[in-house]
Amino acid sequence: TNIYNYIQNKVQQGTKMIAALIDPDKNDERSLSRILPYCEEAKIDFLFIGGSLLVRDRLEFTLDFIKNHSNLPCILFPGSVMQISSKADAILFLSLISGRNPELLIGNHVIAAPYIYEAGLETISTGYMLIHCGNYTTAHYMSGCMPIPSNKYEIAAMTALAGQMLGMKLIYMDGGSGAAHPIEPGMIATVRKIIQIPIVVGGGIRTETQAKQAFEAGADVIVVGNALESSPELLIDLGKLKRSYSSNPVN
């Protein structure tokens, strides 16, 4: 429960958090060596490790490399039951509550449960909601489910509320990696108004302004993935941005 306690403490303090998404398919030693120093310097909170589809078997290598070069907590963000490793610190136990695919609501969880148990991973029950953000992403395709339309704020809010009522510990609103635009701040705000659990927001965040809009609308954690390939220095600005919400400047 260490990672979830950390999130709860930050939320109680009104402090925002940043996660960098590392897709093992897209990163090798060279790109990790480039991105990790920015993660450290920016004092981001977590690394999310995973992808909708891992074409190459590089999860273990990626975790080994990160653990040898950084102390940042590694949270698995699994695209499938194949993405489980005891080398990580926690796993987002994702239920795709915006979809209606029973395998992604409970089936895969039953298959994954003994492996997660064996690995001793902290499990964070997460209501995962895919939102349509201008394009059709790999996450949308791989889920085989319709995403929530970008302007249907009430559907998003009631889906998140149902997730909270089911006992989920986090809501992750995702436009999908490489989303054309981030989730509309109005949708985040509508969800924020009705639920109490922490909200993670990702997909298509490429600028400090977009990150700020997500935070102001009520996101507790923002996730940045794609943008780090071309401009990892964005993390430095995001680190400053999250510290502007904190009364304790070392956070």
Residues that bind ligand 1GP (CB under 6 A): 21, 139, 174, 177-179, 202-205, 223-227
Question: Which of 89, 174 has the CB closer to ligand 1GP?
Answer: 174
Closest distance to ligand 1GP from the beta carbon of 222 (Å): 9
Question: Which of 143, 177 has the CB closer to ligand 1GP?
Answer: 177
Question: Which of 197, 224 has the CB closer to ligand 1GP?
Answer: 224
Buried b (16+ CB within 10 A) or exposed e, 178-191: ebeebbbbebbbbb
29 with 65: CB under 8 angstroms? yes
Closest distance to ligand 1GP from the beta carbon of 223 (Å): 4
Closest distance to ligand 1GP from the beta carbon of 66 (Å): 17
3-class secondary-structure state, position 55: coil
Question: Which of 187, 223 has the CB closer to ligand 1GP?
Answer: 223
Closest distance to ligand 1GP from the beta carbon of 12 (Å): 24
Closest distance to ligand 1GP from the beta carbon of 115 (Å): 22
3-class secondary-structure state, position 96: strand
Closest distance to ligand 1GP from the beta carbon of 52 (Å): 8
| Long-range contacts (CB closer than 8 Å, 24 or more residues apart) made by 223-227 | 223/19, 223/20, 223/21, 223/48, 223/174, 224/18, 224/19, 224/20, 224/21, 225/20, 225/21, 225/22, 225/23, 225/48, 225/177, 225/178, 226/177, 226/178
Question: Which of 191, 205 has the CB closer to ligand 1GP?
Answer: 205
Question: Which of 127, 204 has the CB closer to ligand 1GP?
Answer: 204
- C-alpha distances in angstroms, 142 versus 13, 17, 80, 163, 174? 37, 28, 10, 21, 14
Determine the residue with CB nearest ligand 1GP.
202
